[in-house]
Chain A
Amino acid sequence: ETGVTQTPRHLVMGMTNKKSLKCEQHLGHNAMYWYKQSAKKPLELMFVYSLEERVENNSVPSRFSPECPNSSHLFLHLHTLQPEDSALYLCASSQDASGLAGGYEQYFGPGTRLTVT
């Protein structure tokens, strides 16, 4: 089973649609992340969940709504998006190691390529 999976891999939606992106991790991690990757820009961290609680929200517009029902699943609910929201949305997971040194690298899924028309 691949470490971090994301569905769908590709999504085209109109500005008035509502859709959801799904992420699932099979690594036993307890922290999950949503990133946005736009062309020619660095990855932007959107949300962080640790132990199913949201611990960071990087000034993301309310048309993006995350949900973390358990430590293995993470959703990103989308509604009334704008064309500039078209991007690759990447999910990642890691161990939450508060206060400890170490790598605790994040493992990424393959991403969802979102196009807003």
Chain B
Amino acid sequence: AQKITQTQPGMFVQEKEAVTLDCTYDTSDPSYGLFWYKQPSSGEMIFLIYQGSYDQQNATEGRYSLNFQKARKSANLVISASQLGDSAMYFCAMREGRGGATNKLIFGTGTLLAVQP
């Protein structure tokens, strides 16, 4: 079974509007971390935001926020006030267990976001 599921292969959004990118995960470990990365066409994976499984509040970083619904095992990324530069692939990832030497990240298949002027 897939550990990380991103069901939206592609999304369009108008500039200045908000957009939600979906991510669901599957784990039996009570301790885990959820990450979102952005990959522009240049190839580099850019870290955006992190949510720990024990965090009480949803993570926010500037225009990015993570809508963490633990019972539903979902960790959706919300981008507010979209900009043209937000056009990229977005990957959800999970680390099971506490941070450690392996710190293995499991990635989803990604969502391609296109911001339209």
Binding site for B on A (CB under 8 A): 31, 40-43, 45, 48, 50-51, 55-56, 88, 90, 92, 94-111, 113
Contact = CB atoms under 8 A, between A and B. Distances in A.
Which of B42, B47, B52 is most buried by chain A, counting CB atoms within 10 A of its CB? B47
Contacts, number: 86
Interface of B: 4, 31, 33, 35, 37, 42-47, 50, 52, 54, 91, 98-110
Given A42-B109, A102-B52, A48 B33 contact: no
A98 B4 CA distance: 23
Main secondary structure of the interface of A (DSSP, over half): loop
Contacts of B103: 31, 48, 94, 96-97, 104, 106
B101 A104 contact: no
B45 A42 contact: no
A55 B31 CA distance: 21
A88 B103 CA distance: 21
